[in-house]
């Protein structure tokens, strides 16, 4: 056994989430060094000297997985179990980052998107962190306007519904979603419509989020699955 250092090291990590192909997915990369060489892990790394946490994770996302811009980034949790790293005493501060559905970052060959509900085996406690990030997103979709970070600037209600369904993991009707979000002042119509498809029909109206930064819209609201009785 290696002797544990008297002071903890500190890393920043990010669970970057995006709805891709109709599923909530997270960005993972393969570790190139021991421990867990070759295993999938969350992007991140050690803090530089006198570096703030958010600056650290933004640097690692840019340098290691080429994701320089996220629509929303917030601190998620700190993992402090002394045995979480086999070779050192290490604290990990995790963030959740959201990427809009119309953005397709060019990532390195050792990096890829993985469905949150079908994760591979992950290094350290990174699988637990991904699930905490998923649950944080699901909760905030109910009582904040955080959907702005998953959606393009303009969208139809049906397109927004698909994003909410993928993130929440249960069905939501387009009519109810529009009614709730418009009533709360989260959505507004752009005054334009999507062009009709090849089968014709009335062009659907386009909407946008009123604000592109996080705010609480109804602190007691919960978007529940149909038939839940609530």
List pLDDT tens digits, range 11-63. 999 999 999 999 999 999 999 999 999 999 999 999 999 999 999 999 999 99
User: What is the reported pLDDT for 219?
Assistant: 80
Q: Reduce the DSSP state of residue 180 to 3 states and report it.
A: helix
Both 155 and 136 in one domain: the answer is: no
* Length of the chain measured in residues: 230
% residues pLDDT > 90 (the chain): 84
User: What is the rounded distance in angstroms from the CA atom of residue 148 to the CA atom of residue 108?
Assistant: 27
* 122 occurs within a structural domain: yes
Domain boundary among 99, 118, 141: 141
- pTM as predicted: 0.92
Both 135 and 152 in one domain: the answer is: no
Which domain, by its residues, includes 171?
Answer: 143-209
115 is written with which tokens? 């469905």
User: What is the reported pLDDT for 38?
Assistant: 96
Both 105 and 169 in one domain: the answer is: no
Both 66 and 24 in one domain: the answer is: yes
Both 40 and 130 in one domain: the answer is: yes
To which residue do tokens 């949790």 refer?
A: 77
User: What is the rounded distance in angstroms from the CA atom of residue 28 to the CA atom of residue 16?
Assistant: 8
* 127 occurs within a structural domain: yes
Render pLDDT for 125-165 as a digit per residue (tens, 0 to 9): 999 999 999 999 999 999 999 999 999 999 999 999 999 99
Both 29 and 51 in one domain: the answer is: yes
* 31 occurs within a structural domain: yes
User: What is the rounded distance in angstroms from the CA atom of residue 64 to the CA atom of residue 78?
Assistant: 21
């Amino acid at each position: 056994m290696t002797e544990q250092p008297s002071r903890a090291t500190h890393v920043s990590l990010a669970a970057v989430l995006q709805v891709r192909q109709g599923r909530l997915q997270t960005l993972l990369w393969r570790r190139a060094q021991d421990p867990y060489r070759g295993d999938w892990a969350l992007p991140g790394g050690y803090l530089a000297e006198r570096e703030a946490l958010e600056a650290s994770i933004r640097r690692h996302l840019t340098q290691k997985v080429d994701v320089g811009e996220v629509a929303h980034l917030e601190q998620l949790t700190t993992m402090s179990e002394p045995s979480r790293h086999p070779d050192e005493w290490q604290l990990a501060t995790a963030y959740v980052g959201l990427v809009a559905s119309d953005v397709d970052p060019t990532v390195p060959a050792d990096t890829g998107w993985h469905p949150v509900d079908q994760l591979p085996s992950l290094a350290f406690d990174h699988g637990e962190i991904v699930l905490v990030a998923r649950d944080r997103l699901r909760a905030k979709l109910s009582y904040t306007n955080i959907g702005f970070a998953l959606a393009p600037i303009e969208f139809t209600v049906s397109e927004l519904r698909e994003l909410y369904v993928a993130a929440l993991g249960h069905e939501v009707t387009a009519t109810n979603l529009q009614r709730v979000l418009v009533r709360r002042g989260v959505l507004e119509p752009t005054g334009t419509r999507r062009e009709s498809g090849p089968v014709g029909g009335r062009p659907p109206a386009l909407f946008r989020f009123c604000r592109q930064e996080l705010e609480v819209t109804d602190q007691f609201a919960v978007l529940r699955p149909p038939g839940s009785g609530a």
